[in-house]
Structure 1
Amino acid sequence: MTDWPRVQLHVVTGKGGTGKSTVAAALALALATSGRNVLLCEVEGRQGIARMFDVDPLPYAERRIATGLPVPGESGPPGVVHALHIDPEAALLEYLSMYYKLGRAGRALDKFGVVEFATTIAPGVRDVLLTGKVFEAVQRNSRNKGAQQYDAVVLDAPPTGRIVQFLNVSDELAGLAKVGPIKNQSDTMMTLFRSPRTAVHLVTVLEEMPVQETADGITELEAARLPVGGIVVNLVRPRDLDEEDLAAARADSLDPGRLADELTAAGLGAEEDLVEGLLAEARDHAERRALEDSQREVVAGLDRPTYELPRLPGGVDLGGLYELAGELRAQGLA
């Protein structure tokens, strides 16, 4: 059972370096189960989705890139993940075409650089265009005839420090457009972004700065009346050692002779440099685990549903994304 049965738009944000794009991709795979169709969107221009799924760079068009997790015991096929790379220029041209029937005229504006001028001089307009396309994907209407309908949309959003500005488009445009179609569109989008159909999930790692930024992000989202989802703790280290061994490693009291004997028994060399290197690795691991445990307590104090994803030893490839998707589904995020 998912913790978020009413949510159609899953916004994934986090401090840079926490793996928010990886989490967004894994969440899309986890949601694409039991025949559900999911759209995974990115708005930062990095083509991260294409790299993670090992496909060609994405155009401004919805492309099928993967199937979801199979569900044991269900006979139907899993759902499908589509992907969309959104850029503001293409979104503006589509907006002009859909709402003002400016097909060729819109493309002519692009040639004269008007699109770039508009999105540079008024950054709020840029965010309206990016979020507007996400809104359109969630709430498809007759203006986009024959478009794929989605059960869920996952947005790989800007980092935590900019997420409120990015989603709070109505307030961002307050000094720029007090009336008119763009203002009306931004107000309409806010009805979705502030509704129970949306959840903003925050990705962190168990380190002081990312956890503090997560706490600050939750405060800012709540102040803007944007719905806070869960916290995804990413890159968690394995918990193979018991507390006694961890304490000994931190205190530098592990027995090097015992370690050398066990290496020899395993048929490995027990050179002094190897033993010293392993003891140093153990001490570093124990210290990091102690830091993680202290930050885990801070995360628990934020009083939000929390999900943990392991650090994958081989890095994140498509197989790793499916592994993480299984973890998210098992823990109830999807």
Structure 2
Amino acid sequence: MTGKGGTGKTTVAASLALALASGGGRVLLVEVEGRQGFAQLFGCPPLPYEERKVADAPGGGEVLALAVDAEAALMEYLELFYGMRRAGTILSRFGAVDFATTIAPGLRDVLVTGKATEAVRRRAGADRRRGTREAARAPFVYDAVVMDAPPTGRIAQFLNVNSEVAGLARVGPIRNHADKVMETIRSPETAVHCVSLLEEMPAQESLDGIAELTEIGLNVGSLVVNMVREPLFDARTLEAAAAGELDTEVLTRGLKAAMLDQPEERSRQLATEIVEHARRVQAETKIRRWLSAVEHPMRELPLTSDGITVESLYELAGRLREQGMA
């Protein structure tokens, strides 16, 4: 899940996880930016570098969450592939890990995406049966993994770790690790969903992100238009208001009938608000037509007037299910 900052991609990612887990599924939410967004949404303590259950889904499903930390991922990587966790701890103590990921930011992306793709590929009981035929037939631990990825401005670079790591290692374990990551990211079962608003900048960034993802051969899923507000008036009234032809005398008579003070002044103020609303609806309609031209399904989620609560996440999950996203 990607989107320009402020579009609510973390909220949409959490809602999608609940939607996918409905009916008995087991879904993992992965956070990679260190903001602890899922902990805030679900009202739980900050997530450690381990998978923790954060919610139950309708029908017996469950959602777990993981906050991926590049340093912890490196420690795990060294232990799994080299048996060098102690050496990694010493490197961390001297700041070598931060130094390495700073001078080679592609390495950080490899480590973070690597942890997420490991969760995708993990099978039940794999540790006990590694290398056996039974391991290949064992069910996957998770029915789906949803990543709250970086913004659209960086998403193509972040996910295209194969090209990122080319400058770091052309052969060897790091390159092999990156190749396995790309195998999962390019899988037909993997899709990148973009979150936008009915505003020009987020819409343009989403379209640019979709074009970049398509260019590097990644699968684009849905375009989710978030925080959609319903028009308050019928089309004829909105058209007249946007054109500056609103009948303020009708407003004044209505306010007088309601026995409100200063009806003339109130009607002028109300007319100004209606005109602003009508012009906003007009602009949003234009952007909706612009976004609907993309060759990917477009879903819409409403603006929640009381802010995002756990209850509203379940409501948004239901909306995504109704629109066929899960």
TM-score in same-fold range (> 0.5): yes
Deviations 1:195-238 (A, max 9, x none): 11100001111122222211211111111111111100111111
Alignment correspondent of 1:231: 223
Match of 1:19 among 8, 31, 34: 8
C-alpha distance in structure 1 between counterparts of 2:46 and 2:266, whole Å: 44
Partner Cα distance (1:256, 1:326) in 2: 41
Rounded Cα–Cα distance in structure 2 between residues aligned with 1:317 and 1:62: 22
Equivalent residue letter for 1:21: T
State how far apart, in whole Å, the 1-side matches of 2:318 and 2:273 are: 30
Report deviation, 1:166: 0.5
The aligned residue for residue 76 of structure 2 is: 94
Counterparts of 2:290 and 2:54, CA distance in 1: 37
Which one of the candidate residues 70, 79, 89 is aligned to 2:61? 79
Aligned to 1:215: 207
Q: CA 1:136 to 1:113, structure 2 compared with 1: closer, same or farther past 3 Å? A: same
**Secondary structure class of the residue paired with 2:270:** helix
Query: Alpha carbons of 1:64 and 1:145: their partners in 2 closer, same or farther (altered >3 Å)?
Result: farther
Conservation of the 8 A alpha-carbon contact between 1:247 and 1:286: yes
RMSD: 2.0
Deviation at 1:145, TM superposition (A): 6.2
Select the residue among 175, 180, 191 that pairs with 1:183.
175
Counterparts of 2:288 and 2:189 in 1: how far apart (Å)?
28
User: Alignment partner for residue 307 of structure 2, among 305, 315, 318?
Assistant: 315
AA aligned to 1:249 is A
Q: Does the alignment pair 1:292 with 2:281?
A: no
Q: Cα 1:234–1:112, aligned 2, differ >3 Å: closer, same or farther?
A: same
Distance 1:95 1:254, change over 3 A: same
Contact conserved, 1:43 with 1:156, CA < 8 A, in 2?
A: yes
Aligned to 1:62: 51
Counterpart residue identity of residue 312, structure 2: G
CA 1:30–1:263 in structure 2 vs 1: closer, same or farther (change >3 Å)? farther
2:246 to 237, 245, 254: 254
| 1:105-129 deviation digits (Å, cap 9, x = unpaired) | 3222211212111111110100000
Which residue among 156, 179, 182 is the counterpart of 2:148? 156
Seen in structure 2, the aligned counterparts of structure 1 residues 264 and 189 have a Cα distance that, compared at 3 Å, is same
Alpha-carbon deviation of 1:319?
Answer: 1.5
What letter is aligned with 1:312? T
Give the partner amino acid of 2:65: A
8 Å CA contact 2:196–2:224 kept in 1: the answer is: yes
3-state SS of 1:105 partner: helix
**What is the aligned-residue identity percentage?**
55
* Matching residue within 164, 171, 186 for 1:194: 186
**In the alignment, what sits opposite 1:139?**
121
Q: Report what 2:105 is aligned to.
A: 123
- Does the CA-based 8 Å contact 1:49-1:83 persist in structure 2? yes
**How big is the shift at 1:290?**
0.7
Kept after mapping to 1: 8 A contact 2:161/2:178: yes
Q: Displacement of 1:52 after TM fit?
A: 1.2
How many residues are treated as equivalent by the alignment?
316
Which residue, 21, 41, 65 being the options, matches 2:30? 41
CA contact (8 A) 1:28 1:40 kept: yes
Q: Structure 2 vs 1, CA of residues 267 and 25 (structure 1 numbering), >3 Å: closer, same or farther?
A: farther
By how many angstroms is 1:276 displaced? 2.8
User: What secondary structure sits across from 1:158 in the alignment?
Assistant: coil
Structure 2 unaligned segments of length 5 or more: list them.
Answer: 130-139
Distance in 1 (CA, whole Å) between partners of 2:126 and 2:100 is 24
- Are the structure 2 counterparts of residues 263 and 111 from structure 1 closer, same or farther at C-alpha, using a change threshold of 3 Å? same
1:261–1:270 Cα contact (<8 Å) kept: no
Structure 2 CA distance for aligned equivalents of residues 52 and 145 of structure 1: 35
Shift of 1:160: 0.6
Out of 67, 90, 95, the residue aligned to residue 113 of structure 1 is: 95
Can you list the C-alpha shifts for 1:234-289, whole angstroms capped at 9, x where unaligned?
A: 11111342110101221233233333444455576564443333222211111111
User: How far off its partner does 1:322 sit?
Assistant: 1.3
Q: Contact between 1:58 and 1:84, CA under 8 Å: does it hold in 2?
A: yes
Q: How is 1:259-298 mapped onto 2 (pairs within 5 angstroms)?
A: 259-263=251-255, 271-298=263-290
- Per the alignment, residue 32 of structure 1 pairs with 21
Superposition TM-score, scaled by structure 1 size:
0.89
SS in 2 for 1:276: helix
Question: What is the Cα deviation at residue 46 of structure 1?
Answer: 0.8
Note closer, same or farther for the CA distance 1:269–1:311 as it changes in structure 2 (3 Å cut). farther
Q: Could you tell which deviates more after superposition, 235-244 or 80-89?
A: 235-244
Q: 1:55 to 1:265 in 2, by over 3 A?
A: farther
